[in-house]
Amino acid sequence: MPVSGPDRCPECGAGPLVPLPVGCCSECGFEYDADTRIWRPRRSWHIYLLFANTLLFSPWLYRLLEVTIRYHQWPSASVLFGGLVSAGSLAWALPRLRVVLAEGHRYVAITPRGIQARTPKNRYFIPWDDLADVSVVLGVPRLRRRREDATCLLEWIFDSDQEVAAFVDAVRAARQRYQSAEGGGDDWVEQDPAV
């Protein structure tokens, strides 16, 4: 979803959050202020199409298995085609099911204390003084930490390259606003030209 302010807590879903100069979610402790920005993904229409396709072709998959296993016969061409399409849809959908189930909890937020994010694989909190740089490789923002010399991938959150660019610009502005008088200008953000 495009950039938005803190309407509901992205971590636990409580809300609505009261617009305060500096606030905290009463349920989980998520900190926010008037400048907090939250990015959430939209639900992809591809997922709905895939599950509709799977429901439509499931009877053919059942019939294919029944004819082949129970009666030891070759199925008709239409049953074979429908069963193979259904099996292919399921094979493509099952690895992505985890992402769909985590749909409501995927987000990245720019907060007063740092960048807080949840992806299907990890949860991150990077304080401003620990953020070394952000790069974009193949459309996926990567946050590099100073202390651990680790890279945090913000995958499955942004829906377009424009949202990624808006996020990079917002991180740049927020870092200057929130970070203490420690050095750091505009040259710390790097964009991969291969994007």
Q: What is the CATH number of the domain that holds 123?
A: 2.30.29
Expressed as residue numbers, the domain containing 146 is: 22-41+106-191
- Same domain as 128, residue 58: no
Q: Is 13 among the domain residues? A: no
pLDDT at 109 (0 to 100) = 92
Give the number of other Cβ atoms within 10 Å of residue 52's Cβ.
Answer: 11
More confident of the two residues 121 and 190: 121
Mean pLDDT of 32-36: 85
pLDDT at 96 (0 to 100) = 65
Give the number of other Cβ atoms within 10 Å of residue 51's Cβ.
Answer: 15
Inform me whether the pLDDT recorded for 188 exceeds 70: no
- Same domain as 153, residue 141: yes
Domain count, the chain: 2
Q: Is 7 among the domain residues? A: no
- Same domain as 110, residue 96: no
- Same domain as 113, residue 156: yes
CA 97 to CA 55: how far, in whole Å? 15
- Same domain as 81, residue 123: no
Could you report how far apart the first and last alpha carbons of the chain are, in Å?
21
> Look-up: residue for tokens 């985890």?
98
Inform me whether the pLDDT recorded for 31 exceeds 80: yes
Bridge partners of 153? 142
At which of 100, 128, 145 does a domain end? 100
Residue 126 confidence class, pLDDT cut points 50, 70, 90: very high
